[in-house]
């Protein structure tokens, strides 16, 4: 039953006053039993975070995947420097000469911008070389680990058209609150509505507006991959045709349920791979098997799985906080 609950909270978290009662009713359990299991999973760090997941770009932030080439003896110092930037959400060591991979975002009011920020980080870390890999086309971003083993190998990836929205002060207030971890208690949203002096209907209607506008991707739990038993997670990069053909191939790759992230990114003279897919499995054999199945359907000149050997940082960016401005003030000469 634990696996069923973990599957449920990853996919579509009930946005109601008592979400765990809804899950309990679906699974024919008591709310207390569901909460006890989730509190235990949270205590064991299997559940990493349960919160709103916002779209960095739709909030006005500029972001990119970045790969640094750092000498082995300088990795430790470099990681501390990189991780200190508030716009770093993920940072891994991977099995390639470009060995340090991270995502970087800068705020809408950034004085430095993305390019200059990267130049500063490159200088500070003494990177030998780096490549910036912004998203050209997003096909899928949806981390749902198959905890039950019952998920289909393929899934339909819906194409969503977002509504335009002007963010009001209340939208901003709710974004600031909903981005943080909720407690595993009967009414996890009560503290937010009490603090903002609004009712549940208003709170959930604002979240619905944010989701319709693509500002909030979804509200869900994210699991700690390794703690949940998914120990072989590979970023598989593919050299595929560009243009319309590349988009067709990207859609094929995104349909695999084990793929959580799928993007087209630019090619460079020193980096020929433009299709990026994150593939999750419990063992290297399982992950390699999924990649082999993908290879049968994906037309590519070549591909390469980049396994993460070390995780240095994996957090949610804290939006609309003074940390970005403070970092820039420290580093603007």
Give the catalytic positions in this structure: 90
| Helices and strands: H and E segment counts in the chain | 11, 11
Our CA dihedral for 53, 57, 59, 63, rounded to 10 degrees, sits at: 90
Which contiguous run of DSSP H or E holds residue 306? strand 302-314
CB–CB of 64/134 below 8 Å?
yes
Nearest Cα neighbor of 104 from 273, 95, 116 is 116
* Of 283, 305, 327, nearest in space to 86 by CA: 327
CA nearest 137: which of 234, 288, 31, 251? 251
- Closest Cα to residue 216, out of 159, 251, 144, 165? 165
* 31 close to 21: Cβ distance less than 8 angstroms: yes
CA-CA distances (angstroms) from residue 203 to 29, 53, 174, 209, 218?
Answer: 27, 16, 8, 10, 15
Strand order of the β-sheet with 275-281 is 129-133, 62-69, 100-106, 88-94, 302-314, 232-239, 275-281, 259-264, 137-141
**Pairwise CA distance, residues 203 & 206, whole Å:** 5
DSSP string, 179-223: TSPPPSSSSTTHHHHHHHT--HHHHHHHHHHHHHTTSEEEEEEEE
Local structure of 38: helix, strand or coil? helix
Q: List, in order, residues 6 or more apart from 237 with CB less than 8 Å away.
A: 273, 275, 276, 277, 303, 304, 306
């Amino acid at each position: 039953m634990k696996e069923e609950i973990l599957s449920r909270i990853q996919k579509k978290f009930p946005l109601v006053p008592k979400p765990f009662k809804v899950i309990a009713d679906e699974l024919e359990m008591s709310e207390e039993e569901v909460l006890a299991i989730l509190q235990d999973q949270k205590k064991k760090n299997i559940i990493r975070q349960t919160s709103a997941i916002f779209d960095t770009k739709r909030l006005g932030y500029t972001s990119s995947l970045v790969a640094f080439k750092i000498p082995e003896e300088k990795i430790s110092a470099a990681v501390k420097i990189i991780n200190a930037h508030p716009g770093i959400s993920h940072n891994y060591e991977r099995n390639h000469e470009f060995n340090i991979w991270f995502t970087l975002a800068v705020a809408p009011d950034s004085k430095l911008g993305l390019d200059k920020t990267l130049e500063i980080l490159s200088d500070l870390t003494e990177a030998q070389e780096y490549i910036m890999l912004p998203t050209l086309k997003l096909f899928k971003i949806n981390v749902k680990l198959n905890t039950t083993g019952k998920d289909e190998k393929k899934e339909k990836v819906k194409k969503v058209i977002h509504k335009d929205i002007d963010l009001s002060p209340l939208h901003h207030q709710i974004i600031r609150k909903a981005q943080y971890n909720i407690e595993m208690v009967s009414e996890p949203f009560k503290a937010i509505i009490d603090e903002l002096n609004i009712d549940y209907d208003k709170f959930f209607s604002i979240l619905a507006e944010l989701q319709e506008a693509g500002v909030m991707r979804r509200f869900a739990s994210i699991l700690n991959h390794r703690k949940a038993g998914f120990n072989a997670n590979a970023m598989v990069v593919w050299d595929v045709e560009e243009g319309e053909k590349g988009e067709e191939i990207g859609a094929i790759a995104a349909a695999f349920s084990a793929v959580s992230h799928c993007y087209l990114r630019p090619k460079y003279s020193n980096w020929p791979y433009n299709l990026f897919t994150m593939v999750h499995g419990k063992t290297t054999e399982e992950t390699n098997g999924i990649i082999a199945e993908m290879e049968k359907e994906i037309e590519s000149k070549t591909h390469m799985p980049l396994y993460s050997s070390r995780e240095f940082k994996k957090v949610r960016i804290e939006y609309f906080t003074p940390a970005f401005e403070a970092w820039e003030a420290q580093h603007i000469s």
